[in-house]
Amino acid sequence: MLRATSTLPILVTTTSVSVVNPCTGANLPTVTIVFNNSATVMETGVATITIPNTPGQQFQVLGGNSFERVIVIDRINGYEIRQTDSSPTGVFAINRLGLFSITVATAEGCSRTVQGILANP
């Protein structure tokens, strides 16, 4: 059996690729939370929202394609017990008062998280 070997030169060209982060500035979602008691909260700071103590209270989050809510259920020995809910429509029932956070994401994967506190009058 005869074997032949040969060496072939390989030319490698590198191209610099710059990756642009699409999740800056105007591409971040604007988060608006609308409560059924007509209160509207925009995305600044940690807002305290006063809601009536009546059954059926809810809020809708606007500004993206996916919506997630995290509420703090309890704090024990320095640990937080949290509940995470997601909604394809952005509508969440108010079933607990206290600290919450909302994360809104766009179809491009850009997201923004806002926080608030729900309280009774």
Annotate 9-25 with b (16+ C-beta within 10 A) or e (fewer). Answer: eeeeeeeeeeeeeeeee
Q: What is the pLDDT along the chain (121 residues), one digit of tens a residue?
A: 555 555 555 555 445 555 555 677 667 787 877 777 555 555 555 666 666 667 777 888 888 899 999 988 888 998 989 999 999 999 988 888 888 888 888 888 888 888 888 777 6
- Which pTM was predicted? 0.68
Tokens of 31: 């988060």
Q: DSSP character for 25? A: G
Domain boundaries, the chain: 25-119
